[in-house]
Chains A and B, each alone.
Chain A
């Protein structure tokens, strides 16, 4: 029984092994790029919009609204990163309905790569927003004794992000594999439906956690903005 698609070799050429993880990651990437290209080919702001544009507008609008609610900031700088994370994890978990497909998120390599992207995105967004000095100063909060714990926290939450997504997706495929041995009829389908649901929830949770971490790294100006917003809304009233 395979616990990771890393060990399945799709094809090899001159000693270069392409395993199932890499192959299906490329499949998901090609699908995402192709659908986006198809949908954005003839964008319009007129009243009559194509179905694909409507579909993507709903998704992007929903992601924007969620990120805005969580970060309490203008979501535009974060959308390219967080939206891509969500769409990639969501689609790679959704394609499980296709027979023979191995979800790339069921491999610790993929989830570690995604978590490491988040690990580097947090200081990049934080420094871009607050500046180098203010960002690294928050490691010394509440006192300098806590600095090692803050740094350990950074690493452990990256590890937790990776292992959580991997464990959930891997356990989904493993349960189906075990059930196929015990009761091959109908019961695995129920667990597969549950696996689909869990996959979507995990995609949501991964994105929300990344958003929360980025929001906490870019928080300083948030209070000012909030006060300004409140004053603005009061003036409107």
Chain B
């Protein structure tokens, strides 16, 4: 395999692994947070506004790790610096 094949294959495989592994943790975390928030709302419906707002902020915090993984994999596929470098070397 030439270096261009290796870089292409490794970039695509890594992009897939990144988004696959990177979405597991946030998905579990968001599910747990949502379950606890629903339980809290069921116990105290009067506090639903505060709980929902805090839940949204918390979910955004948790989700940002998944977004980082998404950005990394998108960069690997669409704007890969090593790929561009190899292409410019090959001509």
> What residues of chain A lie closer than 8 Å to B49, measured between beta carbons?
69
Which chain A positions have C-beta within 8 A of B57? 205, 208-209, 212
Cα-based distance from A166 to B64 in the complex (angstroms) = 11
B residues in contact with A69, CB < 8 Å:
49-50, 53
| Cβ–Cβ < 8 Å partners of B32 in chain A | none
Question: In whole angstroms, what is the CA distance A69 to B54 when docked?
Answer: 12
**Which of A125-133, A136-144, A168-176 forms part of the interface with chain B?**
A168-176
Q: How far is the CA of A206 from the CA of B40 in the complex (A)?
A: 25
Contact of A166 among B56, B60, B63, B71 (CB under 8 A): B71
B67 at the interface (CB under 8 A from A): yes
B78 in the interface (beta carbon within 8 A) = yes
Interface 0/1 of A1-18, CB less than 8 Å to B: 101000000000000000
Smallest Cβ-Cβ distance to B71: which chain A residue: A167
A31-75 contacts to B, CB under 8 A, are: 66, 69-70
- Looking at the assembled complex, report how far the CB atom of B1 sits from the nearest CB atom of chain A, in whole angstroms: 26
Per the 8 Å Cβ criterion, residues 56-73 of B in contact with A are 56-57, 60-61, 63-64, 67-68, 70-71
Q: Is A160 an interface residue (CB 8 A)?
A: yes
CA distance A163 to B67 in the complex (A): 8
Tell me how far the C-beta of B25 lies from the nearest C-beta in chain A, rounded to whole angstroms. 16
Cα–Cα, bound, A78→B56 (Å): 21
How many whole Å from A176's CB to the nearest CB in chain B?
14
- Would you call A204 an interface residue if the criterion is a C-beta within 8 Å of the partner chain's C-beta atoms? yes
B60 partner, pick from A3, A171, A205, beta carbons under 8 A: A205
A70 touching B68 in the complex, CB below 8 Å, given contacts A3-B79, A164-B60, A170-B74: no
Question: Which residues of chain B come closer than 8 Å to A3, judged between CB atoms?
Answer: 74-75, 78-79
The complex places the Cα of A1 from the Cα of B78 at a distance, in Å, of 8
Our pick among A70, A174, A209 for the contact of B74 (Cβ within 8 Å) is A174
CB within 8 Å of B: which residues of A? 1, 3, 66, 69-70, 160, 163-164, 166-168, 170-171, 174, 201-202, 204-205, 208-209, 212
Residues of chain B touching chain A, judged by Cβ–Cβ distance below 8 Å, are: 49-50, 53, 56-57, 60-61, 63-64, 67-68, 70-71, 74-75, 78-79
Known: A160-B64, A174-B74, A204-B56. 19 other contacts (CB 8 A): A1-B78, A3-B75, A3-B78, A66-B53, A69-B50, A163-B64, A164-B67, A166-B71, A167-B64, A167-B70, A167-B71, A170-B74, A171-B67, A201-B56, A205-B56, A205-B57, A208-B53, A208-B57, A212-B57
